[in-house]
Structure 1
Amino acid sequence: MSGYVKSHIDHNGVNTIEFYHPQSNSLPGKLLEELAQTIHGAGNDEDTKVIVLRSVGEKAFCAGASFDELVAIKNQEEGTQFFSGFANVLNAMRNCPQFIIVRIQGKCVGGGVGIAAAADYAIALEGSDIKLSELAVGIGPFVVGPAVERKIGTAAFENLAIDATMWRNAEWAKKKGLFSELHASVEDMDESIQRLSYNLAHSNPMAMAEMKKMFWKGTEHWDTLLHQRAVISGKLVLSQHTRSAIEKFKAKVK
């Protein structure tokens, strides 16, 4: 099974977007494209009042980039195209006029941390540890960096980006502002998501759209910036250092 992205809107206007991939909800290019398009479509849907973004399973929210696709990249054009997939998802979340609640039920790695950072409100489960592992595979968190730095600050972002093999626990992520709420059980987490999404679905959509513009002020250049960052990653992924590091990572996973 290659994974999927699907969405469902309920009678209150809560649009739930769900993604899945059998490899710890990692994101190959096809799923990145579908996820960006689905978020963009929900943002243009007048019936959508609030978006809940979630993944399937228990242990991992999102493992970031697909290693299989990273090692298959043959030239800089393919590399830039792949990393632009993450840029498109983050920009779709940023440009969407509705608030996006992200449900974090497990660990976040790399691009998964970026998606959590691009949330307008992230509700997480205890044990949802985070790691920016990009430097460990020879790349660097260039595309997700602006979103993560915006949410947790430069110092905390530097700590994550430099020590690329160290997990930070969910309490750390909550303290730094990446997670808005942290819950001890799935039931409590989902109850909080249901409560907030219901309240937002019945709030003034014009007010929420203006609030979102206010919250994201200063990011208007990201349409260009994130794609420039994708070019950097697309170049680095071709280096022998990076290819060797990715192969070692794949071997550990197996």
Structure 2
Amino acid sequence: MTAPYVTLDVNNEIGTIEFFHPAHNSLPGDILAQLAETITKAGENDMIKVIILRSGGERTFCAGASFKELISINDAETGKVFFSGFANVINAMRKCPKFIIGRVQGKTVGGGVGVASATDYCMATQYAAIKLSELNIGIGPFVVGPAVERKLGLSAMSQIAIDANTFYDAQWAKDKGLFTQVYEDTATLDEEVAKFAAHLCTYNPEAIKEMKKIFWEGTEDWDAKLAERAVISGKLVLSEFTKEKLKGFK
């Protein structure tokens, strides 16, 4: 696998969305746009009762924002558009009327933590350590912050946001509420995810839809809130501090 992609596979009423990028499943703008669109379409597809969100490959779940794209941002509007990509994915997940199961096989950084946090039920392997690294490059987890805080709580979110150089292990993430289960390996994870998704397909879709609304109560302002956060990140990525930091990733 070398070319980036987003795919949707529908089988036995389960819609499996998979994204991939050769740079550790990082998320450039075009992949973010495809991901948001695919999630929305899966939510509208009557053949799908439950969604599994996963990434390709065996190692990193998601490395977050594409550094190649961050380096290329030279004006605030471009920065806003790029970070709005994460906002659009989170909002698509929030509005989706179906439960989204997260399948996290490996390390997750920055925006990837936000994506995992926006799933409704997230299962992982013991290798799925998480890190919010944004402050290291002078930005901050502004766009994904609300999703992470909603799942982990303000205390845990602020801890990993401030300690931006440390990976927190999968058990820590489970203890804080991000992961529901942690398994020894990917094979076991996939087996359990498939089993759980099949069980969810036995639920009343209307009940799921109503429960989803309840679970996400209080986030109705996120279209505007995350857009505002994207503006902040879009400006900060142009700072001299961040430009200097990003030079190290060229």
Question: TM-score normalised to the size of structure 2?
Answer: 0.98
Note the alpha carbon deviations across 1:214-251, whole angstroms, 9 max, x for none: 11110010011001100000000001100111222x16
Aligned length: 249
1:3 counterpart letter in structure 2: P
Identity %: 55
RMSD: 0.8
Aligned to 2:89: 89
Aligned to 2:8: 7
- Return the alpha-carbon distance in structure 2 between the equivalents of residues 195 and 210 of structure 1: 23
Aligned to 1:103: 103
- Any residues of structure 2 matched to 1:35-184 within 5 Å, and which? 35-184=35-184
* Partner-residue secondary structure (3-state), 1:61: coil
Note the alpha carbon deviations across 1:25-82, whole angstroms, 9 max, x for none: 0000000000000001111111110000000112200000000000101100000000
- Return the alpha-carbon distance in structure 2 between the equivalents of residues 159 and 126 of structure 1: 21
Unpaired stretches in structure 2, ≥5 consecutive residues:
none
* Partner-residue secondary structure (3-state), 2:115: helix
Task: Give the superposition deviation at 1:201.
Answer: 1.3
Aligned to 1:20: 20
Aligned to 1:34: 34
- Return the alpha-carbon distance in structure 1 between the equivalents of residues 66 and 194 of structure 2: 31
* Partner-residue secondary structure (3-state), 1:167: coil
Note the alpha carbon deviations across 1:153-178, whole angstroms, 9 max, x for none: 00000101111001101110000001
Structure 1 stretches of 4+ moved >2 Å: none
- Return the alpha-carbon distance in structure 2 between the equivalents of residues 174 and 186 of structure 1: 16
Aligned to 2:200: 200
- Return the alpha-carbon distance in structure 1 between the equivalents of residues 42 and 120 of structure 2: 15
- Return the alpha-carbon distance in structure 1 between the equivalents of residues 202 and 223 of structure 2: 31
- Return the alpha-carbon distance in structure 2 between the equivalents of residues 68 and 91 of structure 1: 24
1:152 counterpart letter in structure 2: L
- Return the alpha-carbon distance in structure 1 between the equivalents of residues 185 and 133 of structure 2: 27
* Partner-residue secondary structure (3-state), 1:9: strand
Task: Give the superposition deviation at 1:2.
Answer: 4.1
- Return the alpha-carbon distance in structure 1 between the equivalents of residues 204 and 91 of structure 2: 23
Task: Give the superposition deviation at 1:127.
Answer: 1.3
2:106 counterpart letter in structure 1: G
Question: TM-score normalised to the size of structure 1?
Answer: 0.96
- Return the alpha-carbon distance in structure 1 between the equivalents of residues 124 and 49 of structure 2: 22
Task: Give the superposition deviation at 1:187.
Answer: 2.1
Unpaired stretches in structure 1, ≥5 consecutive residues:
none
